[in-house]
Structures are given as structure tokens and as C-alpha cells.
A and B are shown apart, each in its own frame.
Chain A
Amino acid sequence: MLAEIGIVFQALALAASIYATIAAFLSARRHSERLLVSARSAALLTFPLMLGAAGVLLMALINQQYQISYVWQVTDPSTPLFYRVTALWGSQQGSLLFWNVTMSGFAFASLLLNWRENHRLMPYVIVFQMAALAFFAGISLLMESPFARYWVTQPAPSLPPVVEAHMFIPTGAEAPPMFVQPGGDGFFQQGLAQTANGLNPLLRHFGMIIHPPMLYLGFVGFLVPFAYAMAALASGDLTTNWIKATRRWTLIAWLFLSLGLILGGRWAYDVLGWGGYWGWDPVENAAFIPWLVGTAFLHSVLIQEKRGMLKTWNMFLVIFTFSAVLFGTFATRSGLIESVHSFAQSAIGMPMFLFWLIMTVIGVWLIMWRRGRGELRDEHGFAGWLSRETLFVLNNVVFVVLALVVFWGSFGMPIFSVTFMDTEITLGAAYYSLVTVPLFAAMYILMGVAPLAAWGAMTMRRMGKALVVPLALTAVGVVIAALLGARSAGTLFGYGIVLLAGIVAVYEIYRGARARMVTSKESLPVALLTIFGRNRRRYGGFIVHLGIVIIGIGVIGSTAYQLETIQQLGRTGEAQIGGYSVRYDSLELGQIAEDGRLMDIANVTVLRDGQPVAQIRPRVDHYPSMAVTIPGVHSTIEGDVYVLLSGYNEIDGSTATLHIYVNPLINFVWWGGLILIVGTLISAWKDERAPERVRTAATTRGGMQWGVPQAGQ
């Protein structure tokens, strides 16, 4: 019964999205008000319908409806309620439904919030949002149904019965038994509840619970700017309206994507047991590529807003951000590339590939068409060799090349090699550190220099002047780093450029506040509040830069100075590493956790200068399908001592093999992530109190904005 309701909800949502697409398209062609309103109603309706479908699946999960094959796959009778809820996105079918919910949710919100200010774009916004939704709703309903149920059929009297998952009840089918008494005879020795799979053990972690929804929100969120950009191209309203309307949406999507990436890293560090947080796995990269292109867009869109330049390029960036989202989704959900993260390979590969291709080609074609008609001409044509425009263009070069390089490493080269050279290859950390490090270095240098540059043109001398203070402070920082033990020229240079970027961010905030203090006689805290209130995006942006800087400090520290050793230790044996002693004390074998898994736990003492500083318990969790190595971590501001139990004497625990890492400064990565999120929130927050005049002043500060015809004037 439940399953049927879910299917009906999904089918209605699919129908509504298809209707909305067609009606909105016709409304644009025929200039029909009635059709547009009707399309909007249908589009708004998809969200409650999708929510309904997800609610039904949630009920099925909570009520243990194991006849539904998805429920059988991701839960079992011992699964606690919390994981029953999170199992909603624990596997392919459920996560696709969840994806649909978020997609319709974004469409819903953007249609409600932006309806009045962006009338002209609306018909095509609905067309593109609903076309995308219809595609994913169709996939979810027809190909990857979360509501398929198991049925027992008898193919022929002589053959044994077959149990298969079907969406519709096959003729003469019966439901398999839920529970079979032990020792019963007949075809079924066990019922569905007895055989159910249970949630993948690796997904039972806080980071894993919220990391996927964050990533989906990030991915799906880029649908909004994409749809607006496409609507601008299709409707011919090529002013900055679409950018203004989607500025905040882009930031929100970017925020969720960043959050998803950071949480994914944290989860990898806590659960996967390999001492790191970023493995350059194709699926991680598939989420990183849209982030890179999206970051390029967030920067270059400023040039269009302020100077009316790079119009074509921004269209490309926003379309390729979403194209990267679609490609990543396709690549990881179709089994295109083998990855530990990927979903089971399924038949949805071809449709998703075609959808990605069609959306990308339509986007590019629309851009080139408008450009060919001369409608994407830049309003200003000038920028000096040394100017903020130039540096922003270089910033775009860095981010786009990073995205291309990551794409090449995770998809391009492996596919090329296997297709044309008949050799399967892997590109791992060695490749990425060779090719991305120079690009990241360039990114930090630009972060340090670009905020000081002026729009239009600037002389070398002025730039030099602006850089004097930050450079001096950076030099001090580098000397401190050297005194603290950084020795190699490479890491000192790395710390130098990262510090410069951070100092410039702080320096710019300080200069803004000081100017305010001088002109308005405000105290420093008030002045800070004022400047942040007046120009959230600019100063929030500096906070984001600061977050990236702190992440950079953590990444450099934890990669360049990571120490690692594997030692087999007897009881009370000690391993020395980086000033620490790690002592193996004892082993607790076969501990039973509350959810029934078996744990083998080592008791390990971390000592510094002979004094115990921490007791940690690295362990191995045994699930029926796999063993998971959970590290024991002693975390300090300097860094982590991260211990994995990688082997032990199973009989008496007389020896244990400990894989010990010292990861200096690694916590900076998480703190930086927090700061980045705060900064993004500041940037994305609605400027509710800034009156029009102030906002105008803020945006014209650099002397721009004139070429942009205002909507509705």
C-alpha cells in the first residue's frame, strides 16, 4: 500500500514537471499569461509531491517494510531509528529521490522568492528547472524506483519460485514472507526481515550522515543560476538581471558544496583509516570540479557586475558549473569510472550521459547564438595590464585550469588510455601533487595581490606601495615559521604566499574599518560591524579568503610534515615518532557494541617526554560484510597523533601492529572550513538594512555599474 502511494506521488510530480516545462515554454512563445501562471502552479506543486514521496519512503524505512527492496537493502531489524532516517540517502534509489526533493525544493524557493523581480526570465527559468527535474524524476520513477517490491512468482510449475523486485505486481505473484520460523520447511528458509542487509557500516558516521545531503544541496543548488542564465539567453534579457537574481543562490549552492567537501574530508579522516582527508578519488574529484568552476564564476561575475565585462565568459562558467554537476552525477552513478565511492553500475548511464550532453550543447549553442548576434558585447573595453580585471582573469585561468586538470586526471586520461591505448591506468596522489601544487600556489598569490589592485588600471609603483605592509608582515611570519622548524625552501615559500593572502584579507578589513573610524568617528567594533553590514559580500569574501588561508596552512603542514611509521609492538612496547612515544598497552578482543558488531580495541598510550598525555583506543569493527578500522586520535593545536590498529595477535593480543601518523596542523583544515562557512554566510546574508542609496554607493565605489541598464527603469 505504502509503495503504491509513493509511486503515485512520484508519478504526479513527474507529470507536473513535464506539464510545467511545456506550459512555460508555450507561455513564452505565445506571451500567454494564463499558461505561465498555470506552469508556475505546476512547478510549485512538484515540491510537496516529491516531499510526499520521500515521506512515504521514510515511513517505509521506519516501519520496516522489507518487501520494498530499498528498505531491505539499507536497513535491517537491528538498525536504530536514527540510521533508518538517514538510510533515506544511503543508496542509489533513495538518494536519487532525495536529489529530486532538493531539486524541486530549490525550484520552489527560487520561484517564490524571485517571481516578482524577474518576470521576464520566469518562463524560461521554469522551462529549464522543470526540464531538469522531469529528467531526474523520470529516472527515479522508471529506472531506479525506490518503491520496487519483492514478489514471488512461479515461472513454470516444474521450476522453483523466483523472488524479484518489481514496481508493479506481476500476475499471480505473492509477497515473500516477512519472517519464517526457524526449521520450517518449504521454499523459504528465512523471511525478508531475517535477510535484510542493513546500512553500510561505513555510512554510520556523523560526517557521512550530513555529508551527502550537503553535497546534493550544493549540486542541485547550481540549478538555479544555471536556469536563470539559460533563461537570460533564451529570453534575450541579457542584462545583469540574472546575475543579481542568482547571486545569493550561487553563494548558497557554493556554501553547501564546500560544506559537503569539508565534511566528506572529515569523515574520511575519522572512518576510512588511511591518515588523510583527501584521496583524489574520482568521486571526490567529481564534486570538486563544480566547486572549482563555481569559484571561478563567483569571482568573474564581479567583473560583469562592476564593469559589464566578461559577459560571454560568465555564461560559460555558470553553464559549465552545472554541466560539471551533471557530469559528476552521471560519472559516479553510472559506473563510468571505477571508484570506491561509486554507486552500483546501472542502466541509467546512457540517459544521464545524454542529458548532460544535451544540456551542455544547448547552453553552449545559446551562448554562441547570442554572441553571434552581438548581444553579449562587453560594455567596457578597457583594462590596463595591471588592474583588478587582469588579476581576476588570471584567477579564472587558475580555477578553470585546475578544474580541467582534475577532470583530466580523474576522467580524461584514464578513459583515453583505456580506449585508445588499451591500458588501464590509475592517476593517484603523485599525479595531483605534481600538477596541482603550482596552480594552488598561483591561486594563493592572486589571493594576496588581487584585493589590492584597482579596477581599470594601476601602476606598478602603486601596487608595490600597497604591498609593502602585507609583504613586511609576511616576511615576519615566514621568519617565525622558519624558527618553528620549517626548513625547506618549498614549504617556506608555500607558507609565505598563504600568509600573504591571509594578511591582505585582514589588512583590507582593517583598512576598511579604519577609514570608517576616521570618517564617522566610530569605535573599531562599530566600524567593523558597519563595514560588514554595508558590504557583506566584499568583507564576507575576505573572511572566506581567511578560511582558505587557514585551510592552506593546515594542508601544507599535514602534507609536508606528516610523519608515519608502522611498528609491530609487544605489550608495553613503544614506538617513537616526531617527539612522541606511542605505547601499546593491551588489547580487548571481541567487545560487543550496542548494535551487535564485534570490536577489537587496542589500548594505546601517547607519551611526550616520558609523560603520558593521552589514552587512545584505535579499533577494528567487524561487520558481517566488512571490517572497518577506526583510528585513535590524540588531537592538539599542533597536530594529531593518529593511530590505526592494522594488525594484532588474534589469540592473546600479545602483539599489535600500529600504523602511526603524526599530522601536524591538521586541525587548521577543519577550523579553516568553519571560517569559510561563516564567511560565506556573511556574504550570502540578505542585506535587509542597507537602503538603496548605500547599496548603490557600495557597488559604484570602483566607478562602474553605469553600463548596466537597470531592470524596470
Chain B
Amino acid sequence: MTDIDFLQDAAPQPERRRPRITLGTVVLLAGIALVALVVAMQLARQTRGPLESGTAPDFSVTTFDGQPMTLSDLRGQVVVVNFWASWCEPCKEEAPHLEAIWQTYRERGVVVLGIAWSDVEADTRAFIADFNLTYPNAPDIGTRIGDDYLIRAVPETYIIDREGQVVERLIGNTRVNVTYLSGVIDRLLAG
């Protein structure tokens, strides 16, 4: 018998019934489909792009000064939302720039809003005091806002125009400086 002879032999055919779809098949395939669907949803979630344009997700916070603030109430103003934390080194570099922007533009319809992400309140407050930050800052309770903005790390900064649309998403602090920010803000205020 050569290696291949068997191919010519028809396999002994057992007595066959017509294939039928059993309950077990249905349940199994449905189960696999369900798992696959949920996994696919998660995969899509994980790979979806960052929030670079479109309507900024709304949120309400209470600042460390006790002021309630809601993003949608700020329509008509340009809003700079900055996610940060006191344990984040790059945040320390950009804080003075944000403060300068706030000082320059606060009278001209621009709001800088700091969102402290996963940070201990005492440390946040110490940070605010150390850097003499006067722009409103609020904790991200339950990290809900960070989730909505799909932030990947801190610092991240979002510039939102008067209509509540995200205009720019700045990751890291490389562009969070007075020159760059005022360029964008001037354009938005002019337009």
C-alpha cells in the first residue's frame, strides 16, 4: 500500500441520517456569536480614534472653589479644557502657560478649565497653590469626564470653540504654551 492509496478507497460510509439542526447547535453557535459580538464591540471601542473634532461631550463639575460649572453653559465662549494631575511632571511645565492664557483672555470670552484626573484632592490643591493658578479647576469625580473624552494620558488639552465643537486636541505639553494657544484662540475669537 503506497502512501496515497487510501485516497482512492472510499471511506466506509456509516449509515447516515439527514443532517438536522439541533437545539444544541443553535445554542452553541448563538453563544459563540454573542461572545464574538461583545468582543468585537470592545475591539471597536479600544481602537476608535481619539476625540479630535465634533461636539465636546458635556459635563458638569464643582470647582475646588465650590462653583458649579457646566460646559454647555459656556457656549459662546472659547473653552480650554486641560486634563492634568499633580503627579504628572509635564503638567508642571504647562500650568504657568495656561495661567498666562487665562490672565490674558479671561475678559475676552475665553475660559480655561482644569480637570484634575485621578488625583488626591489635597495634592491637587497644593499644586494649584504652588503655581498660583486662578483659573477654575475641578476634580473628575469617578473619572467620568476623562472616559468621555477618551483621554489616553495626562496632560491632554482640548480647545472648544464658541459653538461647543472640539477644535484641537493637544496631547502632552509640547504645544501647550502661550504662543501656540494664543494663536489658536485669536483665530477662534476672530472667526
Binding partners A and B? yes
Quick one: which of B3, B28, B35, B42 contacts A418, CB cutoff 8 A?
B42
CB of B16 closer than 8 Å to a CB of A:
yes
CB of A235 closer than 8 Å to a CB of B:
yes
Q: Given the known A-B contacts A349-B43, A368-B28, A372-B25, are A415 and B38 also in contact in the complex, defined by CB atoms under 8 Å?
A: yes
CB of A37 closer than 8 Å to a CB of B:
yes
Shortest Cβ distance from residue A586 to the other chain B in the assembled complex, whole angstroms: 31
CB of A4 closer than 8 Å to a CB of B:
no
Distance of A239 Cα from B32 Cα, bound (Å): 27
Contact with A along B2-44 (1 / 0, CB 8 A): 1111111001001111011110110011001001101111110
Which of chain B's residues has its CB closest to A415's CB? B42
Query: For chain A residues 9-29, which have a beta carbon within 8 Å of chain B?
Result: 27-28
A345 and B47 within 8 A (CB) = yes
Which of chain B's residues has its CB closest to A30's CB? B7
A336 and B11 within 8 A (CB) = no
Q: Given the known A-B contacts A336-B39, A368-B25, A419-B45, are A373 and B11 also in contact in the complex, defined by CB atoms under 8 Å?
A: no
Which B residues touch A422, using CB under 8 A? 147
Which A residues touch B147, using CB under 8 A? 422, 424
CB of A164 closer than 8 Å to a CB of B:
no
Shortest Cβ distance from residue B138 to the other chain A in the assembled complex, whole angstroms: 21
CB of A350 closer than 8 Å to a CB of B:
yes
Shortest Cβ distance from residue A625 to the other chain B in the assembled complex, whole angstroms: 14
Which A residues touch B25, using CB under 8 A? 368, 372
Shortest Cβ distance from residue B123 to the other chain A in the assembled complex, whole angstroms: 18
Which A residues touch B47, using CB under 8 A? 335, 345, 349-350
B46 and A120 within 8 A (CB) = no
Shortest Cβ distance from residue B52 to the other chain A in the assembled complex, whole angstroms: 18
B4 and A373 within 8 A (CB) = no
Which A residues touch B29, using CB under 8 A? 361, 364-365, 368
CB of A508 closer than 8 Å to a CB of B:
no
B4 and A37 within 8 A (CB) = yes
Which A residues touch B43, using CB under 8 A? 334, 336, 349-350, 353
Which A residues touch B7, using CB under 8 A? 27-28, 31-33, 36, 119, 123
Distance of A28 Cα from B25 Cα, bound (Å): 27
A372 and B6 within 8 A (CB) = no
Distance of A415 Cα from B37 Cα, bound (Å): 11
Distance of A33 Cα from B40 Cα, bound (Å): 42
Distance of A369 Cα from B181 Cα, bound (Å): 64
Quick one: which of B17, B32, B40 contacts A360, CB cutoff 8 A?
B32
Which A residues touch B5, using CB under 8 A? 119
CB of A236 closer than 8 Å to a CB of B:
yes
- Chief secondary structure at chain A's binding surface: helix
B28 and A419 within 8 A (CB) = no
CB of A564 closer than 8 Å to a CB of B:
no
Query: For chain A residues 98-127, which have a beta carbon within 8 Å of chain B?
Result: 115-116, 119-120, 123
Shortest Cβ distance from residue B15 to the other chain A in the assembled complex, whole angstroms: 7
Contact with B along A390-430 (1 / 0, CB 8 A): 00000000000000000000011001101100101000000
Which B residues touch A375, using CB under 8 A? 14, 16
Distance of A36 Cα from B2 Cα, bound (Å): 13
Residue of B22, B32, B39 contacting most chain A CB atoms (<10 Å): B39
B32 and A36 within 8 A (CB) = no
Distance of A505 Cα from B149 Cα, bound (Å): 58
Quick one: which of A31, A236, A345, A368 contacts B46, CB cutoff 8 A?
A345
Which A residues touch B3, using CB under 8 A? 33, 37, 115-116, 119
CB of A374 closer than 8 Å to a CB of B:
yes
CB of A357 closer than 8 Å to a CB of B:
yes
Shortest Cβ distance from residue B5 to the other chain A in the assembled complex, whole angstroms: 8
Which of chain B's residues has its CB closest to A372's CB? B19
Which of chain A's residues has its CB closest to B12's CB? A709
Distance of A373 Cα from B8 Cα, bound (Å): 23
Quick one: which of A368, A369, A374 contacts B15, CB cutoff 8 A?
A374
CB of A237 closer than 8 Å to a CB of B:
yes
Which B residues touch A27, using CB under 8 A? 7
Shortest Cβ distance from residue A36 to the other chain B in the assembled complex, whole angstroms: 6
Which A residues touch B4, using CB under 8 A? 33, 36-37, 119
Distance of A336 Cα from B35 Cα, bound (Å): 14
Shortest Cβ distance from residue A227 to the other chain B in the assembled complex, whole angstroms: 18
Distance of A700 Cα from B166 Cα, bound (Å): 75
Shortest Cβ distance from residue A378 to the other chain B in the assembled complex, whole angstroms: 13
Which of chain A's residues has its CB closest to B142's CB? A423
Q: Given the known A-B contacts A364-B32, A372-B19, A374-B17, are A31 and B42 also in contact in the complex, defined by CB atoms under 8 Å?
A: no
Which B residues touch A31, using CB under 8 A? 7-8
B32 and A119 within 8 A (CB) = no
Q: Given the known A-B contacts A236-B11, A353-B39, A419-B38, are A336 and B46 also in contact in the complex, defined by CB atoms under 8 Å?
A: yes
Which B residues touch A123, using CB under 8 A? 7
Which B residues touch A334, using CB under 8 A? 43, 46
Which of chain B's residues has its CB closest to A331's CB? B39
Which of chain B's residues has its CB closest to A407's CB? B35
Which A residues touch B41, using CB under 8 A? 415, 419
A368 and B24 within 8 A (CB) = yes
Shortest Cβ distance from residue A369 to the other chain B in the assembled complex, whole angstroms: 6
Distance of A522 Cα from B30 Cα, bound (Å): 58
A369 and B42 within 8 A (CB) = no
Distance of A707 Cα from B32 Cα, bound (Å): 33
B20 and A235 within 8 A (CB) = no
Which of chain B's residues has its CB closest to A349's CB? B43
Distance of A394 Cα from B44 Cα, bound (Å): 38
Distance of A31 Cα from B10 Cα, bound (Å): 10
B19 and A418 within 8 A (CB) = no
B19 and A369 within 8 A (CB) = yes
Which of chain B's residues has its CB closest to A360's CB? B32
Q: Given the known A-B contacts A33-B4, A374-B16, are A237 and B11 also in contact in the complex, defined by CB atoms under 8 Å?
A: yes
13 examples of A-B residue contacts, CB within 8 angstroms: A28-B7, A37-B4, A235-B11, A237-B11, A335-B47, A336-B39, A361-B32, A364-B32, A368-B22, A368-B25, A372-B25, A374-B16, A415-B41
4 closest pairs, A vs B, by CB? A33-B4, A372-B19, A31-B7, A368-B25
- Chain A positions within 8 Å of B, measured between CB atoms, are 27-28, 31-33, 36-37, 115-116, 119-120, 123, 235-237, 334-336, 345, 349-350, 353, 357, 360-361, 364-365, 368-369, 371-375, 411-412, 415-416, 418-419, 422, 424
- Chain B positions within 8 Å of A, measured between CB atoms, are 2-8, 11, 14-17, 19-22, 24-25, 28-29, 32, 35-36, 38-43, 45-47, 147
19 more contacts with CB within 8 A, not counting A119-B4, A235-B11, A360-B32, are A28-B7, A31-B8, A32-B7, A33-B2, A33-B3, A36-B4, A37-B3, A115-B3, A120-B11, A237-B11, A334-B43, A335-B46, A345-B46, A350-B47, A353-B39, A368-B25, A411-B39, A419-B41, A424-B147
